[in-house]
Structure 1
Amino acid sequence: MEPPRKRRTSPVWEHFELFAQNKVRCLLCHKELTYSNNTSSMIRHYRAIHDHAQSAASGPDTSQNSRKKIVDDALVNMVIKDSQPFSIVEDVGFKELIHVLEPTYVLPTRQALKAMVDKQYEEAKEKAKKTLQKVMSVSLTSDMWTSINMEAYLAVTCHFIDEEDQLGTILLGVEHFPSTHTAENLAMAHSRFMEEWGIKDKTKCIVTDAAANMIACVNNLNVRHALCVAHNLNLIVKKSFEEVPGLSELRAKCRKMVTYFRTSTTAKETLTQVQKQMGLPSLKMILEVDTRWNSTYLMLERLYNLREPVGAALASLRTEITPPTSLEYEIIKETIQVLGAFQQATIELSGEKWVSASKVIPMLKMLSHTTQNKTKSLTSSMARQLGANLVRRVIDRSLKAEAITVRTMPTLLDPRFKKLGFLSSTKLEEAITRLKGNCAEIIRNTPSSTPLQLQEAIQTDQSSDSGDLWHLLDSNVGQSRQNSSAIVDATIEVDRYLSEVNLPRQEYPLMYWSKHKYIYPHLYKLAQMFLCIPASSVPCERVFSKAGEIVSKKRNRLNPNTVKKLIFLNKNQ
């Protein structure tokens, strides 16, 4: 029996025959399928069973296959970018939309869609591994996260300077972590990451928060450790707040009022109407989060800006909540002024796409300087004491940072800052000495760096017929001459670099090193090593923000392995 004429135009009929009123047979494998006056089941069978077994030319239609791949890729990218569930291909409305946009396209099953994601994950991972093979050194950030299912995950991001002297970031993975969060277990997990990605010998630093198990984990790995600056600033501000009598109570009063406006529908609508009547933009109150000091800053700033509509709204509402007095609003205003510089510092030091580790020391110096100047003009005793507390803690943190290699080396190697960022002249000299020592080590480990005359002298010593009697002494002399030469060369290179005029702060430091890699070849290698260190572990926290969208209530049954792949693809696109 011949198929209906309107169906003969479909290329899939080249591979099927209609042998009964509602039955078709595949000409390639002789499988029988139910036929209901459309070719959907036939196309699905061909693509699932035969499409990969034949070349594109032997498929139903080369141009149609090409179009199918374009739509398939777009579908996969939508699932990855927008955190859509695999079950979207079963949603009636989505099916109708696809049919209108692409009538000949047959949506894959959710299992087929998941297989497409798996394939893209493997391809993307292989590409990322090839990228990391080409870099000289990397730094990692690491943090833990707990999903809505109370499952723990460990995230590790990798930061490096690529062949084009640009800062690069790759999410290595978000691994399910069912084990207890001991330093030993965390160290083993990090080791697996580094071995899998081939970066064990390239990892120069790991940035984490101040959790004791994370610090012990990095110590077990025998890798340099840097504490997240964003967490440090959070602790500085929180402890400075707590040390000011009355300020915590004022903050709690503000929080209570903000909570009222965010949880009461009537209060929220009243505030919106009052803002419209005053000709103001409709803004919502911001509630602070205990783990983020800058959320306190944003809460107080928004409350102060909305003080007039908030007062008018409260006057028309039946509530026992009272707004701050004019004196309290003045304290809030000056508190915001003091904290403004810390907000700016937190934003700058949390960036992924620009060099941030080199900013830590000069940023701390500028914070102490700016806060001291602002405190002088304050009238509120609470705000003045808050300013004094902040300055004291920032100076203490700054002096500690100036004694740590992973903080001092990036600053000295940033042509915008060099020596200008340091508070202590003693710490500066110690840092320069360490820089010269690191540079000398690079020179000693560079085969072509040994002068020809010295190589000939060493060879002459080694080939002399003095026998074993003078071998040890001759070797020590040769090594001493090599060390002396390396130290001299390193001192010359470092002093010449530091004597140059600093770049303007708006310039990009990696562009400088790209242009000067042959002038200062050994410092260039150190720059690649230290300037890729992030100032904070915020990159991992951004990963968890996306993870929270993926592991949602609608997708709470996702396999942890699938979660890993989806987050990897989303963050590495």
Structure 2
Amino acid sequence: MGFDSRCVILVRGKHLSFCQFWLYDIFATCKVRMEPAKKRKTSPMWEYFDQISHNKVKCLLCSRELGYSNNTSSMLRHYRAMHEMKEGHAGDAGGPAQGTRPTRKQDLDEALVNLIVKDTQPFSVVEDVGFRAFVALLDPNYVIPKRQAVKAMVEAKYALERSKAIADMQKVVAVSLTSDMWTSINMDAYLAVTCHFVDDNTRLNSVLLGVQQFSQTHTAENLARVKTSLMEEWGITDKVTCLVTDGAANMISCGKHLKLRHAICIAHTLNLIVKKSLDMTPVLSDIRAKSRKLVGFFRSSTLAKEKLVSVQRQMGRPTLKLLQEVETRWNSTYHMLQRLVDLREPVGAALASLNTDITTLTSAEFTTISGCLSLLSGFNDATIELSEEKNVSGSKVVPLLKMLEQMLQEEMAKTAEAVAKEMGEHLLRQLRERLHTLQSMSIMSLATLLDPRFKLIGFF
């Protein structure tokens, strides 16, 4: 049977030609649904992801698979958290950027890195529930990076700051180095080397060249080899004018191996002077032992600590804690004894109400301590002054030594306390024995002569 293609048929209120009707009938009978045209992928995220199935995508940067539901939200979150800092200003380079990396995101990431670095926070802080809730309240739109991403950010920040520091140090003519070794609580030895220089604005700057675990034997040769490597790495081999270390024999010998002018740290020397003088005064040593025991009781007993706080409040005084002596720092002894003098009455009242055989110091012992503190206060001030990081201290050394000797003589003349006088004699002898050559050292004398504050009054 033949049909004319011009024949018109009415279907669902529409006039169709016979051919159109025939096609319509086929699709209707077979119930075939035509698929809509695929949506064009316009998001910049598709430069970093590949669709591997209808509900999954794969990151081209880290091969991680993510769920996909016809939008790029999860892809954007993943990229921001894991790869944005690594890509390095992708917005400027034509990466995912137009509209996906606002300036605020960069600022917040930078602030997060600074928080972790400056406050010595662990990378896991970004996973803490309280921290995440706090950030969400401040800015609900900010996606906190994952721990791995934060680590990458910190490493990138370190590399950037290190390159800037190296560039700055290439501009300076001369630098000095300070070096120290210490042992961690895990009994691992570490060597630290810090560089000091004056910038174009005549400001003192310091750059930590490195802190390295030192598993080798602590010989002068091994120390010199590591320091040489650091100087070459930072491009300052021919710029080092002085190496400052403690008075250990291997450190002094290391300076000779490096053929550098060597100077002993004055603050470290003062520490040795005072420690030895304290140990050479038997009566004061007994008082220190008794003080350590007394302080240890209040720091280890919760009941005693709470009682001391209660007594101070009842007396209308600020609540202060007792301070314990630390073996490696002489001024911790000074602060321990000074705090005991300050809390003499509260400590006595607290001990009287506690069931313990620990006794407070006697009136005579407090008198001895007060006499000794008057002699040690100048050494404490000098230690603080010489330990400042942002002020040049070389020109102050000779005047400070002169002032310390004069202070000792004046205080010893005023005090009637025998123990204090004995300790003062030891301090004066140690001061002259260890530091008598400093005034004749060119590096110290020239620094003092070039300082207009001291050039006329700084010398003995």
State the TM-score bracket (shorter-chain normalisation).
0.7 to 0.9
- Against the structure 1 CA distance between its residues 49 and 245, is the aligned structure 2 distance closer, same or farther, given a 3 Å change threshold? closer
Could you report, residue by residue, the CA deviation over 1:475-529 in whole angstroms, capped at 9, with x for unpaired residues?
xxxxxxxxxxxxxxxxxxxxxxxxxxxxxxxxxxxxxxxxxxxxxxxxxxxxxxx
- Against the structure 1 CA distance between its residues 72 and 322, is the aligned structure 2 distance closer, same or farther, given a 3 Å change threshold? same
More divergent stretch after superposition (410-419 vs 356-365): 410-419
Structure 1 residue matching 2:173: 3-state secondary structure? coil
- Against the structure 1 CA distance between its residues 162 and 367, is the aligned structure 2 distance closer, same or farther, given a 3 Å change threshold? same
Distance in 1 of aligned mates of 2:258 and 2:53: 69
The equivalent of 1:41 in structure 2 is 74
Aligned length: 418
The equivalent of 1:564 in structure 2 is none
Structure 1 residue matching 2:226: 3-state secondary structure? helix
More divergent stretch after superposition (210-219 vs 110-119): 110-119
- Out of 212, 219, 225, which is 2:262 matched to? 225
Q: How does 1:149-228 map to 2 (within 5 A)?
A: 149-228=186-265
Paired residue type of 2:267: A
In structure 2, the gaps of 5 or more residues are 1-34
1:254 correspondence with 2:287: no
Structure 2 residue matching 1:271: 3-state secondary structure? helix
Distance in 2 of aligned mates of 1:29 and 1:153: 35
1:59 and 1:65 in contact (8 A); partners too: no
2:44 and 2:95 in contact (8 A); partners too: no
Q: Identity of paired residues, percent?
A: 55
- Against the structure 1 CA distance between its residues 38 and 298, is the aligned structure 2 distance closer, same or farther, given a 3 Å change threshold? farther
The equivalent of 1:83 in structure 2 is 120
The equivalent of 2:167 in structure 1 is 130
Distance in 1 of aligned mates of 2:450 and 2:438: 15
Distance in 2 of aligned mates of 1:329 and 1:212: 39
Distance in 1 of aligned mates of 2:244 and 2:112: 36
Offset at residue 14 of structure 1 (A): 10
RMSD, aligned CA: 3.1
The equivalent of 1:336 in structure 2 is 373
In structure 1, the gaps of 5 or more residues are 3-7, 424-573
1:236 and 1:393 in contact (8 A); partners too: yes
- Against the structure 1 CA distance between its residues 57 and 359, is the aligned structure 2 distance closer, same or farther, given a 3 Å change threshold? same
The equivalent of 2:314 in structure 1 is 277
Distance in 1 of aligned mates of 2:459 and 2:231: 34
The equivalent of 2:408 in structure 1 is 371
The equivalent of 1:357 in structure 2 is 394
The equivalent of 1:397 in structure 2 is 434
The equivalent of 1:302 in structure 2 is 339
Distance in 2 of aligned mates of 1:270 and 1:32: 60
Structure 2 residue matching 1:286: 3-state secondary structure? coil
Structure 1 residue matching 2:440: 3-state secondary structure? coil
Offset at residue 72 of structure 1 (A): 1.8
Could you report, residue by residue, the CA deviation over 1:2-46 in whole angstroms, capped at 9, with x for unpaired residues?
9xxxxx9x9869998999874468999999741369855311455
1:323 correspondence with 2:365: no
- Against the structure 1 CA distance between its residues 103 and 64, is the aligned structure 2 distance closer, same or farther, given a 3 Å change threshold? farther
- Against the structure 1 CA distance between its residues 353 and 58, is the aligned structure 2 distance closer, same or farther, given a 3 Å change threshold? closer
Could you report, residue by residue, the CA deviation over 1:424-460 in whole angstroms, capped at 9, with x for unpaired residues?
xxxxxxxxxxxxxxxxxxxxxxxxxxxxxxxxxxxxx
The equivalent of 2:106 in structure 1 is 69
1:364 and 1:395 in contact (8 A); partners too: no
Could you report, residue by residue, the CA deviation over 1:356-385 in whole angstroms, capped at 9, with x for unpaired residues?
111111101110101110111111111111
The equivalent of 1:101 in structure 2 is 138
The equivalent of 1:427 in structure 2 is none
Greater relative CO, 1 or 2 (CA 8 Å, sep 6+): 1
Offset at residue 396 of structure 1 (A): 2.9
- Against the structure 1 CA distance between its residues 38 and 264, is the aligned structure 2 distance closer, same or farther, given a 3 Å change threshold? farther
- Against the structure 1 CA distance between its residues 124 and 246, is the aligned structure 2 distance closer, same or farther, given a 3 Å change threshold? same
Distance in 1 of aligned mates of 2:72 and 2:421: 78
Q: Which has the higher helix share?
A: 1
Paired residue type of 2:414: S
Structure 2 residue matching 1:417: 3-state secondary structure? coil
